[in-house]
């Protein structure tokens, strides 16, 4: 299957600083990538759709100025959590779709555990 690599796997930052998370498709190109947030013992909640060469599409209730998304190439999307606060602590996961038309599959990165202190 296709490989999606996410970096870093964990990060601890001070309140008020910004953190960048990278999501790379290693062996395929992805014009679209998705960013999720997952709280303990809960399902994945879609935050935004990252579109190569254009603006990201944010889900309702997600602050676009807080969670900056850049999809500058066909293999890389980044999520920057700006002015992080303890309530931003969570598990962030990216995914990229891959496959033939009508047989799409979503491949996920390893996730990033963000802890804001």
Q: Which residues contact 28 (CB under 8 A, 6 or more apart)?
A: 2, 96, 98
Among 43, 65, 86, 87, binds other proteins (CB under 8 A): 43
Binding residue (CB under 8 A) for other proteins from 14, 32, 77, 85:
32
For the bound state, the minimum distance from the C-beta of residue 83 to other proteins, rounded and expressed in Å, comes to 25
Q: What is the DSSP string of 83-94?
A: S--GGG-EEEEE
Site string for other proteins, 65-94 (x = CB under 8 A): --------------------------x-x-
**Cα–Cα dist 81/41, whole Å:** 22
- Work out the angle at residue 105's Cα, subtended by the Cα atoms of residues 99 and 71, and round it to the nearest 5 degrees: 80
Which residues contact other proteins by CB under 8 A? Answer: 1, 4, 6, 32, 34, 41-46, 49, 59-60, 91, 93, 95, 97, 102-111, 113
């Amino acid at each position: 299957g296709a490989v999606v690599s996410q970096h870093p796997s964990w990060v601890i930052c001070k309140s008020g600083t910004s953190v960048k998370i990278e999501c790379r498709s290693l062996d395929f190109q992805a014009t679209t990538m998705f960013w999720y947030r997952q709280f303990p013992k809960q399902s994945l909640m879609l935050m935004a759709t990252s579109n190569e060469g254009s603006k990201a599409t944010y889900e309702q209730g997600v602050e676009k100025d807080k969670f900056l998304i850049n999809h500058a190439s066909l293999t890389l999307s980044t999520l920057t959590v700006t002015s992080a606060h303890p309530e931003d602590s969570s598990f962030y996961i990216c995914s990229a779709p891959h496959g033939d038309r009508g047989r799409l599959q979503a491949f996920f990165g390893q996730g990033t555990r963000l802890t804001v202190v």
